[in-house]
Homo-oligomer: A and B are copies of this chain.
Amino acid sequence: MTKEGRGFLRKTKQREVILSVLRSTDTHPNADWIYEEVKQVLPNVSLGTIYRNLRILVESGEALELCYGSAASRFDGNPQNHYHFVCEKCENVYDLKVPVNDEVARRLSDVTGHLITDHRLEFYGICKDCKVYNDASTRHED
């Protein structure tokens, strides 16, 4: 109910290849890498199509989008690690007042062999305030 929103998806060669490329790797590629891969099968594919389809795949729940690096960053004046809740409706970011669990990181360092120095935990959903409108009636389609 949160992630759908498209009447129906036509099945196209492009979308098919994009999804299969995405499923064939565990390197968490970016759009450009996917573009290069897809081009080997469909030389005429365009970057715009890659982006359009990735968005569709993410929105329809067939892929996850991870965001790193710098783009539309938001900043937090509290340098202590703490967790956040992001409202997908109003886009507000709330600080959560729960203790940070460094235990997990330490344990995972042992299990994985990686040196884990930091972690970030974010929750997503609809915030208290936005929920009110949603509950009142379910006519909100955005």
Interface residues of A (CB under 8 A from B): 2, 19, 22-31, 34, 54, 57-58, 61-79, 81, 84-87, 92-96, 98, 105, 108-109, 111-128, 131
Contact = CB atoms under 8 A, between A and B. Distances in A.
Given A96-B112, A98-B108, A124-B117, A77 B25 contact: yes
Contacts of A29: 74-75
A112 to B, nearest CB: 7
Contact of A128 (B87, B112, B128): B112
Q: 4 closest pairs, A vs B, by CB?
A: A71-B71, A22-B77, A69-B72, A23-B77
Contacts of A127: 114-115
Given A27-B93, A70-B71, A77-B22, A119 B118 contact: no
Given A30-B74, A117-B124, 5 more contacts: A24-B77, A28-B93, A30-B73, A105-B123, A116-B123
A55 B62 CA distance: 34
Nearest to A76: B64
B95 A26 contact: yes
B77 A66 contact: no
13 contacts: A24-B77, A28-B84, A29-B74, A31-B75, A54-B75, A64-B76, A64-B81, A68-B74, A69-B71, A70-B71, A71-B71, A116-B124, A118-B124
